[in-house]
Structure 1
Amino acid sequence: MKIVHIVPYKLDAYSGVYSAISGLAGALARAGHDVEAWNLSPWPDGRPELVAEFDRSGVVRRELPESSRPWSLTSAARRMIDHELAADIVHLHSVFSPQNNLLARRTELPLVLSPHGVLLPGSMGKSTLRKQAYRRLVEIPALRRIAAVCALSEAEAAGVRDFGYSGRIKVVPNGVPEPEAGVDSGALRRGLEIATEARIGLYVGRIQIDHKRLNVIARAVSATPGWQLVVVGSDYRGDGARLEALVGALPGADRIHLVGPRQGMELAEAYAGADVFLLLSHSEGMSMALLEALSYGLPAVVSPEVEETLSVAGRGGGWTADGDSLADLLSGLATLPEEAWGERRVAAQSIVSDFTWEAVAAEYLSLYESVAV
């Protein structure tokens, strides 16, 4: 089967959507399928390991001539779509992407869509009036061309229905790559000169203060002696500078480390060296960083909204907390017996034991085959 994945216009290089497309496309290619990834923007220079993963897996990367305007395609891109786009399935990623919609209008090939959490109720609460107008005028007409939607969870499937899609929906989770071998679990602590007796909370993701509740996390760690916070991620719309200023004004600011983006072995060392993963987002499709953390046996503290998408606390792999309870929870975890930590680590890994990209790709393939011409 020939499958073409469409990478959204100007997708953030460190977005989990990039990792999800890479994992899925790579697994399909390794299974013997003809897989291409067409990028509506240049491939990112900042993540060479991600680009190399596409190539190693046998995925053919292509790049459409980029438009300077997000709501239009260049004439060269239109010609490329009209004359070179040939596949059994075209898989679009994300919504509220004008160029996705323009591409969809130019082809009669079967289309599958992955919203990647954008249509969750918590996400739709942002810029509601603008998004609702865009939905009526652009997205709902475009959805009529979609043969099937892949939701990451039942919560997202409900959001897709509420958005106005009446076609086929299949729930398929994200996959998670195998953990790196030979990871030095002490490297993170040594590199940041964190005392052996201190507990480490880890956040990995883009620096988006309000949506990810990074202000809540920073204040909770600041108020909890014995804990240190490591924030791994890239700036999002200037929030990196805002977070630096916020942290600098907190007592115990020296216990909060903003280390920027990490990848490869450095990221693996962060997962292996932390005590708990912190993800208190207002909404999440299915966080790739959370799945990766769990695969390293890292228990997680998640918001009720994240817990609804992926049962972490409910399956023993962590705890739930909100802004009011996080500091108290961290204080209690500081004295948690090592035996209890060990039980949580085992449970964390078991949550994602079935989330291999090969298993996930097989689920997608069954959907592709059912809607292909």
Structure 2
Amino acid sequence: MSRILFFSRDYTPHDHRFLSALAQHGHQVFFLRLERQAYASEDRPLPPQVEIVRWVGGERPVSWRDGPRLLASLKRVLRQVRPDLVQAGPLQRSALLVAMSGFRPLVSMSWGYDLILDAGRNALWRWATRFTLQRSQALVGDSEIVRRLAIRYGMPSERVVTFPWGVDLRRFSPPPDREIGAGRPFTLLSTRSWEPIYGVDVIARAFVLAAARLPGLRLVMLGNGSQAAYLRNIFHQAGVEERIIFAGQVSQAELPRYYQAADLYLSASHSDGTSISLLEALACGCPALVSDIPGNREWITPGVVGWLFPDGDYKALAEAILEAASDRQRLQQMGLAARRLAEERADWEKNFPRLFDAYALALRGS
């Protein structure tokens, strides 16, 4: 049994899964939270085996100015907890603090956006990325694009462990009988947070165009975020609000039924490694129409389990929605293929143990 300090930016469904799985595998797990952001995405309690570490962080958003105070507190935590290993991410936040503390072994975990977007922001972010990777004994990434970028920023390829995080295939599964009757509204589903990075405004504008040509079109929008007023105004100005279901922030227990009830999953995200939301849709047998970005291309073969549209092009998205809605029988076959793909490549129970390969690599390299 190892003493593992799991240091993450916030507390999300992904953190809950990793922490719960580590505890179930018999490790002594300590959870350190860097900040508390405005919108909570996870409210499930952690298993009692996971010890939540109290320190100066974890209660509000943080900035670069907080660095010295956080670093001093982290060093105290490391002395008190005495972990065998620290797993930390994103790279320029939690993992950077561990790298600055000098602790080894460090398993850095990329969250996708830290390498795809943040690393290229400016010279400071590039320095933080390289500094952290140079002091990481292993890196965990969820996609090929993340692996390539990590190597570009100086991580030795042999120290990168790549695996899609995957989903719980028992919970995210197709409905027993999916209705495909022509008289039923054609239902689109958006599950991403209402933040600029996820391009939900692209979905909103595409829906307005498609809805004008297809009376039976409906959009279910989960989540919330800083663009709420902006998005609602797009729908209000177009007069389509009554055709949209704003379901808000739904629990993890409720989430599968939304995928199961949808005809087509939409994501217009401008940046993703391996999108867990996409994998959830595929596991539920829901075909996907997503932005043409590297992370999505690793999963979507156009015409097999879904389609790609040019990133940011709401007119192309609208046309693709109409094309998909014109052939529900084809969507049913694509849904079966989507589930098969999830079973082959996105099984959390099969993929998670790859994390221990990264641990072994880090322990050997320290």
User: Equivalent residue for 2:109?
Assistant: 114
User: Equivalent residue for 2:139?
Assistant: 149
Amino acid at match of 2:97: L
Cα distance change on mapping 1:352 and 1:252 into 2, 3 Å? same
Q: Is the 8 A contact 2:172 2:256 kept in 1?
A: no
User: Equivalent residue for 1:6?
Assistant: 7
CA distance in 2, matches of 1:312, 1:289: 13
Secondary structure of 1:64's match? coil
Q: Is the 8 A contact 2:138 2:361 kept in 1?
A: no
- Displacement of 1:146: 0.7
CA distance in 1, matches of 2:126, 2:268: 31
- Displacement of 1:149: 1.3
Alignment of 1:79-228 (within 5 A): 80-97=76-93, 100-121=95-116, 123-124=117-118, 128=120, 131-166=121-156, 168-180=159-171, 197-209=184-196, 211-224=197-210, 225=214, 226-228=216-218
Amino acid at match of 1:151: G
CA distance in 2, matches of 1:331, 1:42: 40
CA distance in 2, matches of 1:249, 1:266: 31
- Displacement of 1:181: 8.4
Structure 1 vs Structure 2: percent identity of aligned residues?
23
Q: Is the 8 A contact 2:4 2:29 kept in 1?
A: yes
- Displacement of 1:325: 2.0
Cα distance change on mapping 1:64 and 1:175 into 2, 3 Å? farther
User: Equivalent residue for 2:317?
Assistant: 326
Cα distance change on mapping 1:333 and 1:205 into 2, 3 Å? same
Amino acid at match of 2:51: V
Amino acid at match of 1:106: S
Cα distance change on mapping 1:183 and 1:335 into 2, 3 Å? closer
Q: Is the 8 A contact 2:221 2:247 kept in 1?
A: yes
Give a deviation string over 1:281-308, Cα, whole Å, max 9, x none. Answer: 1220111221112221111111111564
CA distance in 2, matches of 1:87, 1:101: 17
Q: Which moved further from structure 2: 159-168 or 145-154? A: 159-168
Q: Is the 8 A contact 1:204 1:233 kept in 2?
A: yes
Cα distance change on mapping 1:332 and 1:47 into 2, 3 Å? closer
Cα distance change on mapping 1:120 and 1:228 into 2, 3 Å? farther
Cα distance change on mapping 1:138 and 1:165 into 2, 3 Å? same
User: Equivalent residue for 1:289?
Assistant: 277
Cα distance change on mapping 1:74 and 1:215 into 2, 3 Å? closer
User: Equivalent residue for 1:191?
Assistant: none
Give a deviation string over 1:12-65, Cα, whole Å, max 9, x none. Answer: x5xxxx222222232232222222222124699955643x2x316x43332322
Alignment of 1:217-366 (within 5 A): 217-224=203-210, 225=214, 226-235=216-225, 238-305=226-293, 308-313=296-301, 316-322=304-310, 323=313, 324-338=315-329, 340-353=330-343, 354-366=345-357
- Displacement of 1:107: 4.3
CA distance in 1, matches of 2:302, 2:174: 28
Cα distance change on mapping 1:307 and 1:344 into 2, 3 Å? farther
Q: Is the 8 A contact 2:145 2:295 kept in 1?
A: no
Q: Which moved further from structure 2: 38-47 or 275-284? A: 38-47
Q: Is the 8 A contact 2:141 2:163 kept in 1?
A: yes
Give a deviation string over 1:247-272, Cα, whole Å, max 9, x none. Answer: 21124232233332111343222111
Q: Which moved further from structure 2: 26-35 or 158-167? A: 158-167
Cα distance change on mapping 1:201 and 1:182 into 2, 3 Å? closer
Cα distance change on mapping 1:246 and 1:349 into 2, 3 Å? same
- Displacement of 1:276: 0.9
Unaligned runs of 5+ in 1: 187-194
Q: Is 1:20 aligned with 2:6?
A: no
Q: Is the 8 A contact 2:273 2:295 kept in 1?
A: no
Cα distance change on mapping 1:314 and 1:150 into 2, 3 Å? farther
CA distance in 1, matches of 2:28, 2:237: 53
Q: Is the 8 A contact 1:25 1:59 kept in 2?
A: yes
Unaligned runs of 5+ in 2: none
Q: Is the 8 A contact 1:93 1:113 kept in 2?
A: yes
TM-score where L is the length of structure 2: 0.83
CA RMSD of aligned residues (A): 3.1
Alignment coverage as a number of residue pairs: 345
Secondary structure of 2:47's match? helix
Cα distance change on mapping 1:321 and 1:88 into 2, 3 Å? same
CA distance in 2, matches of 1:245, 1:197: 27
- Displacement of 1:75: 8.3
TM-score where L is the length of structure 1: 0.81
CA distance in 2, matches of 1:55, 1:271: 27
